[in-house]
Amino acid sequence: MKVKTSITLSQDVVKTIERATRKGENRSQAIERLLREHLLTRARQTADQRDLALLNEHADQLNEEAEDVLTYQVDV
């Protein structure tokens, strides 16, 4: 379901949107696509930051486990 809304944008933003508009796409479609892309990118970045923080929090333990596993390897 689409909801009609009204926003005011500066001319430079409108020009940038117009340049980013794909063939056959109107301005509203372009704004929605660009906003979706941006929101997805931010969500990915947030998830990546959470994952990195979790890895860093447990890095010492993970490294110790990896070193322990390496001691079981046989020289070839």
List the chain domain ranges: 13-70
C-alpha span between 14 and 34 (Å, rounded): 12
Is the predicted pLDDT of residue 76 greater than 90, yes or no?
no
Q: pLDDT tens, 27-70?
A: 999 999 999 999 999 999 999 999 999 999 999 999 999 999 99
User: What pLDDT does residue 73 have?
Assistant: 85
Bin 33: left if φ > 0, else alpha if -120 < ψ < 50, else beta: alpha
74 confidence band (pLDDT: 50, 70, 90): confident
